[in-house]
Amino acid sequence: MRQVVDGDTFNCRDGRKVRLTGIDSPEREQRPYGEQAREALLELAPPGTSLRLEGDVAPTDRYGRVLAYVWVDSMLINEALVQRGWAVLYTVPPNVKYAKRLERAQQEARAHGAGLWIDRGFDCLPSDFRRGKCLSPP
């Protein structure tokens, strides 16, 4: 990994842009939640970390980003972000390989008030924010 863009997107050293499959984190404009999610990804996989990218059915999104489940050793980063409350489940068929696993992680995070669940950071889901359905907190 070369650079973290936000909580669910990063750039590789080889120039590829990667979007974590099956999850969605707050947008950078969703202050302060977007920055908190970005920091969580940085903590799990700092720049220079060797990652293993695992694809699903659709290899890229409409923006040309590589869609991947991202592993650091035996840790699935996508799942870790959801478990820790920094991302939510966001499946886009046909890429649903780990959907049930991510759903369980979200249920646990929400039940335990992990990350943004305790701070009401998911009162406005990232997908709703992108559609202009809610405003970012001051």
CATH number at residue 74: 2.40.50.90
User: Is pLDDT at 50 greater than 70 in this prediction?
Assistant: yes
Which residues have C-beta within 8 Å of that of residue 74, sequence separation ≥ 6? none
- Residue 136: inside a domain: no
- Residue 138: inside a domain: no
How far is C-alpha 119 from the chain's CA centre?
18
- Amino acid 138: pLDDT: 44
Is 39 part of the annotated catalytic residue set? no
Contact by Cβ (8 Å): 108, 82? no
Which residues have C-beta within 8 Å of that of residue 110, sequence separation ≥ 6? 85, 117
Q: Which domain holds residue 33?
A: 3-130
pLDDT band, very low/low/confident/very high, at 79 (cuts 50, 70, 90): very high
- Residue 135: inside a domain: no
Active-site position among 29, 52, 62, 65:
65
Name the residue with higher pLDDT: 101 or 134. Answer: 101
- Residue 120: inside a domain: yes
- Residue 47: inside a domain: yes
| Total domain count, the chain | 1
- Residue 103: inside a domain: yes
Name the residue with higher pLDDT: 49 or 135. Answer: 49
Average pLDDT over residues 55-77: 97
Is 65 part of the annotated catalytic residue set? yes
